[in-house]
Each structure stands twice: as C-alpha cells, then as structure tokens.
Amino acid sequence: NMAISVEEVSSSLVREYLSRKGLKKTIACMDEEHPRTEASINNRSHLRQILHLDPLYKRKAIKPSQTTLLVPDQPESVPNNQSSLVAHDQKGQTLMASQDPEHFNAPVTESTKRKKTSRIRRGMMPGPVASTPEVPNTVFFFNFVALYCELKVVLLGSSLNCFSVEWRNQGFTFSETHDLRYGIVQKKGGPCGVLASVQGFVLKKMLFETSDPSNTFNKLKPSNSTRRKCLVLAIVEILWKAGEEKHAIVAIYSGTKHFIPVGQYKSEGVLEKVFSIYCCSFETEVLGCLLLVVSAVLSRSIEKVREDMDVPTTTLIGAHGYCTQELVNLLLCGQAVSNVFDNDMELDSGNGNITLLKGIKDLCEIGFLSLFEHYNICKVGSHLKTPRFPIWVVCSESHFSVLFGLQRELLISHQKGQEFDLYYYDGLSNQQEEIRLNDATELIPPLELCIRTRLGHLTLLGSNSK
C-alpha cells in the first residue's frame, strides 16, 4: 500500500536507480545515513506491484524525455521581449530555440501545449518527446528525487547537506566601474573557482573572438550587449565541452517546486525548483553560479564526473564552500579530473597494485597557475600552463582570480628581455581600477610567485600600472 510506505518506496527506488548506475559507494553512503529496516522493499517484483508497473514492465522500457541537445556555433541574443537564445549550425540552420515553449523545434499545437503542461506537472524535464503510453506519475516523481539526491552527493557529499548562502546568492553580474566593465563581480567568498573560470572564457570571447562595432579602440571597455553576448558564448562553450561536444544540458530555476522532497533529502528550495531547458543567460543576481555548476555536471553526467575523479567520493564543493580542483577542471577542460599535470600517471602502490592518477588530457583554451607549484606540492602541466589563449585562472591562498594578456604572442615568445602586458582581475577584491602588472609594480608576493611558475623572469611591460 503506497499510503503507508511512501518513504520506503522512495528509498527503494533510489537504491534501484543507484544500483543500475553502478554507484556502489553512493548506495553504501545512503545505507549508512538511512539504514534498511524490516519494512524496506528489497524485492523488485514487489516494488513493481506497489507502483502498478507490471503491465509496462512487459513492454519495451520507456525512458523519460531527455533535454534537447544544444549544438553551439554562433549563438546570439534575440529581441529583449523574448527571454531566449538561438543557436545555429555551420550551415546556418536553426538547431535550438529558447526556453519559451513557442520556440520548441517541434510544432506547437493545443495538444502539445497540454502535454508539456502535464509533463512539467509530473516532474519530467521538458522538451519534445515521442508519443508514449502514460506512465504513473510516481515514476517521474522518484526520478527527480533520485537525480537530485545524486547531485547533492556529488556536489556536497550528502543529500542532507545544503548550499551555503554565498552560493545561493551568487550570480553573474558585471562591474560598472569604468575600467573594469569586463569583470564579473563576486559577492562573498566560496564560488571564486567558478567565477574565475567563467571570467577566463568571457575574456577569451571578448578579446579574441568577438568584435564590438561600437568600441573597437578598447576591448576591455565593452558595451552592455557585447559583454552579455560574451557571457552567453562563454557558458555555451563550457557546457558544450563538458558534454564532450555532443550535447549540453542547462538547469533553470523556475521558482515552482516540481516534486515534494521525501526521505533522505533535505529541502532548501533550490534543486526541487530546478528543471532543464534548451538554453538561457545566467546573468542574474542570484543562483546563476550554482545553476551553471549543476548544468555542467548534468552535461558531463554524474557518472562520468565520478569516473573522472581519482577518488569517486570527492565533492565538487569542498570545505567552507570552496571550489575543489575537480570543479575548476570540469569548467576549464570539461573533465572533473583531480590533478593539473598532463595526461594520466600510474603509481606503484605496492603488492603489484597500480594507482591511476588522472590529469589534463588535451591542450586547454584557458590556462591555470597555482601557488602550490611554487611550494612543490603540485606540478601544472603544459596543457594548462601554456593554453591556446593568454588567459590563466590563478589559484593563490585558497582563492581563484584571473591573469591575462592582450597578445597571443605572449604564449610563444620566450626571448629574454621580451616585453608584454599582463593584466590582473580579482572579482572579490572590490577592485576599483585596472591592474596592469609590470616590473615597476610591486606585485602581491603570492601572485608574483604564481606568475613566475609560468613566465620565469621574462620582463613585464615597463609602463606604470593604473
């Protein structure tokens, strides 16, 4: 009887889902936090009977709708009265339209509108679907519970943990300081690894891949429309890379609960109000940062994120709300690997056992430098140290910021005495003016040590910093 054992049914469904995904450690964690009892449902046949799924079980398995794939090429904003985006393929054919149901690829009729409303009410991820027999609402309800329990475990370590206020309140908004209009502002400590990574891709788009007809003189002072476009393109690239350049999933905060949390899930009004759509802009005052992380994990898939890690139980958000290296690597290179050296490394752990440490597989668009390398705690490989563009996320004293140059020649010139510009941006520092680094500048000691791990003693441009 469903009425007398909702919690046990939900627990059984979550365990079944985790079992089919091969997530044994997650099951063990769940068993520890929510031990099985005599009332637990451990028989699949019994579970099918409770959920009235026997007729469907005999047919071909029916899967819930998947979000439509996003193939980015040149996404662009649409008129202001439509909160949406459009993406085209290389031939200019429209592949993806906005979150607005009127822009779905499938023809919109009164029938499909009714079906979409019904799907959202049942808790499905919206999107065009083939005609299928009706499946009991309970199935979709528990699919959501299982998915978000998994999300919380991989992000926070437990489905009972909650996102800090610093994460919930952080969006992607730009500085209005005249010399820093390119900069994303961080409100509080914690999500800096995400913000710095996105900042790096925004700068790549702004400096090297887009043109601003209204401002060709100084690309570091973009118009509102240009910097918004660069943010959208940066997010598309990050998610597309996380999806192995095959698909992308975007999580959106709807403000409406799509399921009622039960069992071992602590509600905080965030994930239960999230669903996935085609694409959107994350330029919001709140939740944008968290939504990007969820989108990147879903685009990569929770299973692959765990496979990327040296230790599958590692979380993406660590102690005190800090971003782990796995999360930064997911955003920078599309894989949540635990290390920053090139490729994988095998270590002899004794008794004929080999421990595989996973590193960065390919040359990255945006680089990474770490103060830990100066102290010989880690070694940053060339895939991150010499990226395709002269932009680096810098890890110094548990904080992430951005270092960048304006000339790509910086990456290939190693002549002694070579002069070049380097700029530094820290979204958390309440920075009020442009910081241009040079030999005449007294660099912040930890930052200088990070820079020297990449640039040695090459000469910075001898102009005064502002």
Q: Is 247 a catalytic residue?
A: no
What DSSP line would sit under 135-196, residue for residue? --HHHHHHHHHHHHHHHHHHHHSSTT----HHHHT----B--SGGGTTPBPP-SSSTHHHHH
Place of tokens 């958000």: 317
Pair type for strands 76-77 and 85-88: antiparallel
DSSP per-residue string spanning 386-453? S-SSSEEEEEETTEEEEEE-S-GGGGT---TT----EEEE-TTTT--S-EEE-TTS---HHHHHHHHH
User: Which member of 192, 279, 364, 395 is catalytic?
Assistant: 192
Name 15's Cβ contacts closer than 8 Å, sequence gap at least 6.
27, 30
Query: Contact at 8 Å (CB) between 252 and 280?
Result: yes
The DSSP symbol for 209 reads I
Residues in the chain: 466
Would you call 395 a catalytic residue per the annotation? no
Catalytic residue among 247, 258, 383, 399: 399
Question: Strand locations in 188-321, DSSP E?
Answer: 250-253, 274-277
Q: Can you list the positions of beta strands (E) in 215-299?
A: 250-253, 274-277
Pairwise CA distance, residues 327 & 307, whole Å: 13
Residue 456 CA to residue 415 CA, distance in Å, equals 11
Q: Which of 185, 434, 135, 376 is nearest to 289 (CA)?
A: 185
The SS3 call for residue 342 is strand
Nearest to 150, CA basis, from 322, 142, 238: 142
Cβ 321 vs Cβ 293: under 8 Å: no
Instruction: To the nearest 10°, report the CA torsion of 457, 460, 462, 466.
Output: -130
Residue given tokens 């790549």 in the structure block: 204
Catalytic residues: 192, 399
